[in-house]
């Protein structure tokens, strides 16, 4: 032992002695220059109590039923009042850590002197002797530390640090009652296995609460506090054996202090630890519903409503002990997950994703995808992207939305005076060489491109009305309709209905806008279609209903809605889109209630969609290859246990949508859409369409083996193509001429 250590240690002994005799007649310690008065001043002129920052606590995400489905934390802790801790736990911790806790004033002189003598002989800190109040001070200083250096100083095994700790402990005893100190200690102490505080420890070790701890459980946790790392039961058998030794030591100590009968202690020692280790997952990759979790997490981190800076928002999320009440509906979420799981395997490179939104409020009811979230490839390739949302909420580039965008052209036409039966004759292909201008007034024609009808969703041409062109999803009809009503007007309608690109870039205002060339995410599309269900009232998607802080202060989130299109126009759109289920591309797929929707299949089968709604719920489903939709089109693929020559909107996204909507709303009474204003939208005229219908009804039209309902005979189609070539609307003559 060095002279300096000996002098300092003896000086502390003298100081303690001075306190015991009220700073009277303490001898001068030879060579130290420390008088009794100076020693007494050390413990009578005390500093302020240590600054206490709010303890880091778990932030929990709960669904509409109040069930936790995700949590964030730096330290797994849930603070509780002392009355919420079982009395046997209070007795156990006091017995093993500071049996004279309720007798001393913050410094256990007997224990401290005993420890000091042992440490003096050893020449260093070898024995603790710290009171519960001193341990509380140490934990507070560690919790407040901002750097590793500050944390090291708070834990340093030095006598000067112990003196400082003692002085702060005495100051703390002046500020709080004993029970308040014990409560603070039980909430701040680390018990091992990632559990900070007695409540988290009770849940982690025994899947119970601090209020329901038994004698054996309480003794186990009390024994773990002294050596939380070497007794961590989650590590292995040897650690559990050491934990049992510590438990039995606590039981013996409690019996020796006559806090429990010796027989009861012996009976408890004879039993096993009875561990029921409960995982405490943190972060979204370990959440039950990771995509919804990712959305909420990004909202908390990026929305200035939750804090002025990113650092403040992150600290609040990870340390604040918040309860985030979300809009997640357990029933809708389960329905979406099940419908996807039954058709798409997590190991498939093709991914299905679905979002469900409540019309009229914007509350997000479900977000699901077929891929697991998190790093690594265990159980198949995973993703770290939110496949259901946009890039702002952790998503990627999105997928081209395909023919779902025809809805915005339909809404524009109806707003501008078109009727259900209005239409025109359409060719089988179109070169957008003229008539298209963006919202800056610039021509955006593309004479080098020829657009065809999708082989799986429409006809090769002929007369079509708003209704038949929508039901059969005829590309050329909608390209021509977009030109007639104005590309910019269609873009503006889409924007009013909440359409933004998944990657955050400006919308591509090009002739094929109506064919869905912009990359989208399911949530944005679902919210847009929800506005149609809400009779033209668009609401920004919302996942957070209310935030409750640790002091039970509540902050509610209000829906953010606006009028996007007139109710009458929305009703008319819904009327047309209901025909998709009984007259169009989704024929034969019945959701069991009034529903409206639109399929989407992209050029080259790079992605497939279905978006639709009932009056109570809207949803959008996308399918694409996670490796890259353009490099890996949805042709000749096996998804789940089904082979697809090509994936179209009605072949996979449609069935997922139908099944998920059916299950999500199975206990709700079906509701009908508002009837459209037939005086405004009924009737209309499409040259040639009425005659064609009459011919088909009378059976007078000759059908060749290439004919299908709604198609013109190939010869008349070639005649039309020839006329287009002669008029300069087609780059080359049709084949055979």
Q: Each residue of 466-505: pLDDT tens digit?
A: 999 999 999 999 999 999 999 999 999 999 999 999 999 9
Q: Is the pLDDT of residue 83 over 90?
A: yes
Quote the Cα angle for 343-345-348, to 5°.
Answer: 120
- CA dist 86 and 206 (Å) reads 14
pLDDT, mean of residues 298-318: 90
Q: Is the pLDDT of residue 718 over 70?
A: no
Whole-number pLDDT of residue 5: 37
* 434 beta partners: none
- Enter the CATH code of domain 77-270: 1.10.3810.10
- CA dist 280 and 598 (Å) reads 42
Q: Is the pLDDT of residue 111 over 70?
A: no
**Distances from the Cα of 409 to the Cα of 77, 417, 487, 656, angstroms:** 53, 13, 9, 25
* Sign of the dihedral defined by the CA atoms of residues 264, 265, 269, 270, in that order: negative
**Distances from the Cα of 619 to the Cα of 334, 399, 613, 650, angstroms:** 14, 16, 6, 15
Percent of the chain as helix, strand, coil, to the nearest 5: 45, 15, 45
Q: What DSSP element (H or E) covers 297?
A: helix 290-302
pLDDT range class, residue 8, cuts 50, 70, 90: very low
pLDDT range class, residue 124, cuts 50, 70, 90: very low
pLDDT range class, residue 36, cuts 50, 70, 90: very low
User: 330: closest CA among 701, 62, 35?
Assistant: 62
195-196 and 190-192 strand pairing: antiparallel
Q: Is the pLDDT of residue 119 over 60?
A: no
Under a CB-based contact definition with an 8 Å cutoff, are residues 268 and 88 in contact? Answer: no
pLDDT range class, residue 719, cuts 50, 70, 90: low
pLDDT range class, residue 74, cuts 50, 70, 90: confident
Q: Is the pLDDT of residue 707 over 50?
A: no
pLDDT, mean of residues 233-259: 96
Under a CB-based contact definition with an 8 Å cutoff, are residues 208 and 216 in contact? Answer: no
Residues 6+ apart with CB under 8 A from 185: 93, 132, 133, 135, 136, 139
pLDDT, mean of residues 280-307: 92
Q: What percent of the chain has pLDDT over 90?
A: 71
pLDDT range class, residue 530, cuts 50, 70, 90: very high
Q: Is the pLDDT of residue 628 over 80?
A: yes
pLDDT, mean of residues 372-401: 86
Whole-number pLDDT of residue 664: 98
pLDDT range class, residue 53, cuts 50, 70, 90: confident
Residues 6+ apart with CB under 8 A from 551: none
pLDDT, mean of residues 355-381: 88
User: 354: closest CA among 624, 622, 69?
Assistant: 622
Whole-number pLDDT of residue 470: 97
pLDDT, mean of residues 408-414: 98
CA atoms within a 13 Å half-sphere pointing along the CA-CB vector of 311? 0
- CA dist 63 and 69 (Å) reads 7
If you average pLDDT over every residue of the chain, what do you get? 86
- CA dist 474 and 492 (Å) reads 22
Whole-number pLDDT of residue 163: 83
* 547 beta partners: 324, 555
DSSP state at residue 212 = G
Under a CB-based contact definition with an 8 Å cutoff, are residues 337 and 368 in contact? Answer: yes
Under a CB-based contact definition with an 8 Å cutoff, are residues 618 and 636 in contact? Answer: no
Fold of 399-681: Beta-lactamase (3.40.710)
- CA dist 117 and 693 (Å) reads 107
Whole-number pLDDT of residue 412: 98
Whole-number pLDDT of residue 593: 97
Q: Is the pLDDT of residue 663 over 70?
A: yes
pLDDT, mean of residues 371-389: 81
- CA dist 141 and 113 (Å) reads 24
User: Which of 43-47, 49-53, 54-58, 451-455 shows the highest mean pLDDT?
Assistant: 54-58
pLDDT, mean of residues 405-429: 96
- CA dist 128 and 661 (Å) reads 63
Under a CB-based contact definition with an 8 Å cutoff, are residues 660 and 591 in contact? Answer: no
Q: Is the pLDDT of residue 85 over 90?
A: yes
3-state SS assignment for residue 571: helix
pTM attached to this predicted model: 0.82
User: 424: closest CA among 474, 488, 492, 487?
Assistant: 474
Q: Is the pLDDT of residue 430 over 60?
A: yes
Whole-number pLDDT of residue 460: 63
Under a CB-based contact definition with an 8 Å cutoff, are residues 519 and 400 in contact? Answer: yes
- CA dist 165 and 53 (Å) reads 17
User: 496: closest CA among 512, 510, 483, 507?
Assistant: 507
3-state SS assignment for residue 330: helix
pLDDT, mean of residues 57-82: 95
Q: Is the pLDDT of residue 40 over 60?
A: no
CA atoms within a 13 Å half-sphere pointing along the CA-CB vector of 506? 8
Whole-number pLDDT of residue 693: 54
3-state SS assignment for residue 282: coil
- CA dist 382 and 396 (Å) reads 14
- CA dist 412 and 459 (Å) reads 23
Burial of 212 (0-12, 13-18, 19+ CB in 10 A): exposed
Residues 6+ apart with CB under 8 A from 417: none
**Distances from the Cα of 488 to the Cα of 231, 443, 602, 620, 689, angstroms:** 68, 11, 22, 25, 29
Q: Is the pLDDT of residue 241 over 90?
A: yes
- CA dist 588 and 45 (Å) reads 86
- CA dist 623 and 600 (Å) reads 10
pLDDT, mean of residues 592-611: 95
- CA dist 689 and 700 (Å) reads 15
Q: Is the pLDDT of residue 22 over 90?
A: no
User: 82: closest CA among 215, 172, 210, 214?
Assistant: 210
Q: What percent of the chain has pLDDT over 70?
A: 83
Q: Worst-scoring range by mean pLDDT, 228-237, 525-534, 683-692?
A: 683-692
Whole-number pLDDT of residue 158: 74
- CA dist 368 and 389 (Å) reads 10
- CA dist 299 and 70 (Å) reads 15
Helical spans, DSSP H, in 393-544: 406-415, 466-471, 475-485, 487-496, 522-533
Whole-number pLDDT of residue 506: 97
Q: Worst-scoring range by mean pLDDT, 109-118, 171-180, 187-196?
A: 109-118
Maximum C-alpha span of the chain: 126
Under a CB-based contact definition with an 8 Å cutoff, are residues 313 and 582 in contact? Answer: no
Whole-number pLDDT of residue 129: 56
- CA dist 557 and 527 (Å) reads 17
- CA dist 727 and 715 (Å) reads 19
pLDDT, mean of residues 686-709: 50
Whole-number pLDDT of residue 406: 98
Q: Worst-scoring range by mean pLDDT, 56-65, 93-102, 156-165, 696-705?
A: 696-705
Ordered by start, the domain boundaries in the chain are: 1-45, 77-270, 399-681
């Amino acid at each position: 032992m060095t002279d300096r250590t000996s002098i300092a240690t003896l000086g502390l002994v003298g100081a303690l002695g001075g306190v015991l005799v009220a700073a009277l007649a303490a001898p001068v310690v030879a060579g130290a220059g420390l008088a009794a008065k100076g020693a007494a001043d050390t413990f009578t002129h005390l500093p302020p109590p240590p600054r206490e920052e709010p303890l880091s606590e778990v932030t929990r995400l709960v669904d509409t039923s109040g069930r936790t489905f995700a949590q964030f934390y730096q330290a797994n802790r849930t603070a509780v009042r002392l009355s919420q801790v079982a009395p046997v736990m209070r007795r156990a911790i006091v017995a093993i850590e500071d049996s004279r806790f309720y007798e001393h004033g913050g410094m256990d002189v007997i224990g401290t002197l005993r420890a000091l003598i042992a440490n003096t002989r050893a020449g260093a800190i070898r024995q603790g002797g710290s009171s519960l109040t001193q341990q509380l001070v140490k934990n507070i200083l560690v919790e407040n530390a901002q750097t590793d250096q500050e944390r090291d100083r708070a834990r340093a095994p030095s006598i000067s640090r112990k003196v400082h700790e003692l002085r702060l402990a005495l100051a703390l005893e002046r500020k709080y009652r004993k029970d308040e100190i014990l409560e603070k200690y039980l909430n701040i102490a680390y018990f091992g296995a990632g559990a900070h505080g007695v409540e988290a420890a009770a849940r982690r070790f025994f899947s119970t609460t601090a209020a329901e701890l038994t004698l054996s459980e309480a003794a186990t946790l009390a024994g773990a506090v002294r050596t939380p790392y070497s007794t961590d039961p989650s590590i292995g058998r040897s650690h559990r054996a050491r934990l049992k030794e510590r438990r039995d030591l606590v039981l013996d100590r409690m019996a020796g202090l006559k806090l429990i009968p010796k027989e009861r202690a012996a009976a408890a020692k004879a039993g096993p630890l009875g561990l029921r280790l409960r995982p405490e997952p943190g972060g979204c990759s370990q959440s039950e519903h990771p995509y919804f979790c990712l959305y909420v997490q990004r909202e908390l981190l990026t929305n200035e409503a939750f804090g002025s800076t990113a650092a403040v928002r992150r600290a609040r999320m990870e340390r604040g002990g918040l309860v985030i009440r979300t809009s997640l509906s357990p029933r809708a979420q389960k329905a979406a997950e099940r419908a996807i799981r039954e058709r798409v395997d997590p190991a498939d490179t093709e991914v299905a994703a679905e979002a469900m939104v409540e019309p009229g409020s914007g509350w997000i009811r479900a977000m699901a995808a077929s891929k697991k979230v998190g790093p690594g490839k265990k159980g198949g390739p995973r993703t770290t992207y939110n496949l259901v949302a946009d890039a702002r909420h952790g998503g990627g580039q999105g997928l081209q939305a395909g023919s779902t965008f025809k809805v915005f052209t339909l809404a524009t036409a109806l707003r501008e005076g078109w009727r259900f039966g209005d239409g025109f004759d359409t060719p089988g292909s179109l070169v957008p060489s003229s008539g298209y201008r963006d919202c800056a007034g610039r021509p955006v024609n593309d004479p080098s491109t020829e657009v065809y009808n999708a082989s799986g969703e429409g006809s090769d041409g002929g007369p079509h009305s708003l209704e038949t062109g929508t039901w059969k999803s005829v590309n050329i009809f909608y390209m021509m309709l977009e030109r007639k009503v104005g590309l910019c007007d269609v873009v503006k309608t889409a924007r009013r209905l909440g359409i933004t690109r998944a990657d955050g870039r400006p919308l591509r205002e090009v002739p094929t806008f109506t064919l869905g060339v912009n990359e989208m995410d399911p949530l944005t599309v679902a919210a847009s279609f929800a506005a149609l269900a809400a009779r033209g009232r668009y609401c920004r998607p919302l996942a957070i209903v209310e935030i409750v802080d640790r002091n039970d202060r509540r902050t509610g989130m209000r829906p953010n809605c606006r009028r996007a299109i007139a109710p009458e126009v929305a009703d008319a759109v819904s009327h047309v889109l209901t025909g998709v289920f009984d007259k169009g591309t989704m024929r034969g797929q019945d959701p069991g209630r009034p529903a409206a929707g639109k399929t989407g299949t992209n050029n080259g089968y790079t992605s497939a969609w279905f978006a639709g709604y009932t009056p109570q719920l809207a949803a959008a489903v996308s399918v694409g290859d996670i490796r890259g939709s353009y490099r890996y089109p949805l042709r000749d693929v096996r998804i789940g246990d089904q082979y697809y020559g090509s994936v179209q909107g009605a072949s996979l996204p449609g069935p997922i949508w139908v099944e998920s909507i059916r299950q999500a709303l199975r206990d709700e009474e079906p509701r009908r859409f508002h009837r459209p204003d037939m005086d405004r939208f009924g009737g209309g005229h499409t040259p040639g369409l009425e005659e064609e219908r009459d011919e088909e009804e009378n059976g007078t039209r000759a059908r060749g083996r290439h004919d299908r309902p709604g198609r013109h005979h190939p010869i008349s189609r070639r005649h039309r193509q020839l006329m287009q070539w002669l008029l300069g609307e087609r780059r080359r003559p049709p084949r055979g001429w």
